[in-house]
Amino acid sequence: MSTNSMTIEGKTVLVTGANRGIGRALVDEVLSRGASRVYAGTRTPLSHTDGRVVPLTLDVTDRAQIRSAVEQVESLDILVSNAGVSLGGDLDRAVIDQHLAVNLFGTLDVIQTFLPLVIDARGAVVSVLSLAAVAAVPFDPNYSISKGASLSLLQVLRGQLSPRGVSVHAVLPGPVDTDMTRHLDLPKASAESVAQAIVDGLERGDEEIFPDPMSAAIADGWSDGVVKALERQFASYVEADPVAS
Ligand SMILES: NC(=O)c1ccc[n+]([C@@H]2O[C@H](COP(=O)([O-])OP(=O)(O)OC[C@H]3O[C@@H](n4cnc5c(N)ncnc54)[C@H](OP(=O)(O)O)[C@@H]3O)[C@@H](O)[C@H]2O)c1
């Protein structure tokens, strides 16, 4: 389902988890499409040869760091919440907590903190979730639960932010060839191809972005499916302010 399309040219973009994997590829992809400035949020210091890249120290579980990061950002068109963990393990409450800390609450805290800037710009929020958000992967239960909760968060934000001119995009990749999936013997898309498809989807205005061959196979069924129909119905009931926390 498409909302408002946009171009990257001339936009300011922030990417969390920007030092490796999909996040690093996203930084390079938006630079190649003419982003005017790219804030690269990382836990460890990042150096990049392109002068448009502004490093930001940003552990998404550290609220003081998030507050300090937002003070260094003058304006922001596109916020990409990409940082995530997959720690494996059997179904376990403590391990669910560890996943929620980064994948759900880290995403929430970063989005809520930077949202006033994105609202000012009538921009976009993008979050890299997973196909595991749509259907839990039984061999990765703790991760699946955190990504399922994050998909719900994105649906909430879309309902609340769309009237304020902000588009919200959930990225739902299948396996991607990064450190996160090093141990999995499965066909995987490259991080570069996934980054390209994510930015294509954002430029088209797709609410859900299916950026690799495995996920693309369900894209048509998703956009015409009951989940999207219910989401639109529910979104018409309530309008609250997600900035208030
Ligand atoms: N790879 C896949 O198959 C796949 C599939 C679907 C969705 N995804 C999602 O795509 C996103 C990127 O994953 P990836 O495949 O690129 O994995 P990756 O190579 O393991 O990279 C994960 C990134 O997240 C960062 N990160 C982890 N915890 C953080 C924290 N507390 N604060 C800030 N940054 C943190 C890491 O930073 P450090 O270097 O400091 O650890 C790293 O930059 C994740 O949300 C993941 O769930 C991946």
β-partners of residue 41 are 16, 56
pLDDT at 129 over 70: yes
State mean pLDDT over 35-59: 97
**pLDDT at residue 237 above 90?**
no
**Ligand 1, CB cutoff 6 Å, lining residues:** 16-17, 19-23, 43-44, 59-61, 82-86, 102, 106, 128, 130, 173, 175-176, 178-181
How do 37-42 and 53-57 pair as beta strands?
Answer: parallel
**Tens of pLDDT along 176-201?**
999 999 999 999 999 999 999 999 99
Instruction: Please give the mean pLDDT across all residues of the chain.
Output: 94
At residue 232, does pLDDT exceed 50? yes
pLDDT band at 108 (very low <50, low <70, confident <90, very high): very high
Query: Which atom of ligand 1 is least distant from the CA of 184?
Result: 3
Ligand 1, atom 45, lies closest to the CA of 84
pLDDT value of position 147: 98
Full set of structural domains in the chain with CATH: 12-235 (3.40.50.720)
How far, in Å, is the centroid of ligand 1 from the Cα of 149?
Answer: 17
Which of 25-39, 94-108, 146-160, 225-239 shows the lowest mean pLDDT across its residues? 225-239
**Which residue has the least CA distance to atom 26 on ligand 1?**
83
Structure tokens at 39: 């804030």
The pLDDT of residue 243: 54
pLDDT band at 1 (very low <50, low <70, confident <90, very high): very low
Predicted local confidence at residue 86, as pLDDT? 98
Question: What is the model's pTM?
Answer: 0.96
157 neighbors 168 (Cβ within 8 angstroms): yes
Distance 16 CA to ligand 1 centre (A): 9
| Probe target for ligand 1 pocket from 42, 43, 44, 151, with the most ligand atoms within 8 Å of CB | 43
* CB atoms inside a 10 Å sphere around CB 226: 7
Mean pLDDT score, 90-98: 98
Nearest to 5 by CA among 166, 205, 199: 205
Pocket test for ligand 1, best of 14, 22, 140 (most atoms within 8 A of CB): 22
Side-chain half-sphere exposure of 71, counting CA atoms within 13 A:
7
User: Is residue 180 classed exposed, middle or buried when 0-12, 13-18 and 19+ CB atoms within 10 A define those classes?
Assistant: middle
* Percent residues over pLDDT 70 in the chain: 96
Residue 172: its H or E element: none
Tokens representing 217 are 């196979």
First to last CA, the chain: 29
Residue 9 has pLDDT above 60, yes or no: yes
The answer to whether the CB of 134 falls within 8 A of the CB of 172 is yes
Number of Cβ atoms within 10 Å of the Cβ of 36: 15
Closest ligand 1 atom number to CA of residue 171: 7
User: From the CB of residue 240, how many other CB atoms can be counted at a distance below 10 Å?
Assistant: 9
How many Cβ atoms are within 10 Å of 159's Cβ, its own excluded?
A: 20
The single residue listed with the structure tokens 């294509």 is: 200
Q: Which pLDDT does position 239 carry in this prediction?
A: 56
Separation of alpha carbons 45 and 25, rounded Å: 17
For 204-221, the pLDDT digits (tens) are: 999 999 999 999 999 999
> With 70 as the cut, is the pLDDT of residue 244 above it?
no
Nearest to 83 by CA among 103, 105, 62: 103
What average pLDDT does range 9-14 have in this prediction? 98
Handedness of CA 47, 80, 24, 200 (dihedral sign): negative
Share of the chain above pLDDT 90, in %: 92
What does the pLDDT read at residue 3? 53
Mean pLDDT for 110-117 is 98
1, 48, 151, 170 from 45: Cα distances, Å: 38, 10, 30, 27
Question: pLDDT by residue (tens digit) across 66-87?
Answer: 999 999 999 999 999 999 999 9
